[in-house]
Amino acid sequence: MDSLLTDVRLYIYGQMIATSAAPGVPETAAALGRAVEDVERAYRTLAEQKALVLRPGTTTVWMVMPFSNMQTAFNVICEGRAYYANCAWDAFGIPAVLERDANIFTTCADCGGVLQRKVACGRLTDSRGVVHFALPVRRWWEDVGFT
């Protein structure tokens, strides 16, 4: 990966962690002192490499795993900041990436009841329940937005 791709990817992650929102191309270009066209190309290349997911037909970040740049049913609260995860798998990934304790909230797909799990010291404190994935892992990128 060339240095611009690395810089763009690290900047996106840094902003997502610090603010719970991914930066746009112009903000990233300004922060890195690079041309907007170069950064836009970097966003598209990172998407082609599956390092992030762009909203269809745009250069707006949709997902930078495990974070979602849009509201989802998977809320993760970590040190007073709220993040959205793309799915249950990613909800557990956020505290792992941040190396922090977290509370994870979602709803049961079967009954609609509220589900909460806590991650403390890198461990799930209550292992009751089952996580269901609609597709096997090998098929996730066929439609990562659905998965």
For domain 3-64, say whether CATH 1.10.10.10 is its number.
yes
Confidence band for 146, pLDDT divided at 50, 70 and 90 = low
The mean of the pLDDT values for the chain is 92
Per-residue pLDDT tens digits for 73-101: 999 999 999 999 998 889 999 999 999 99
Per-residue pLDDT tens digits for 19-46: 999 999 999 999 999 999 999 999 999 9
Map out the domains of the chain as residue ranges. 3-64, 68-142
Confidence band for 143, pLDDT divided at 50, 70 and 90 = low
Q: Which residues contact 61 (CB under 8 A, 6 or more apart)?
A: 12, 22, 23, 43, 52, 53, 54, 55, 69
Residue 137 has pLDDT above 80, yes or no: no
Give the CATH H-level superfamily of domain 68-142.
Answer: Alkylmercury lyase (3.15.10.60)
Higher-confidence position of 39 and 1: 39
Q: Which residues contact 7 (CB under 8 A, 6 or more apart)?
A: 32, 34
Residue 1 has pLDDT above 60, yes or no: no
In this prediction, residue 142 carries a pLDDT of 74
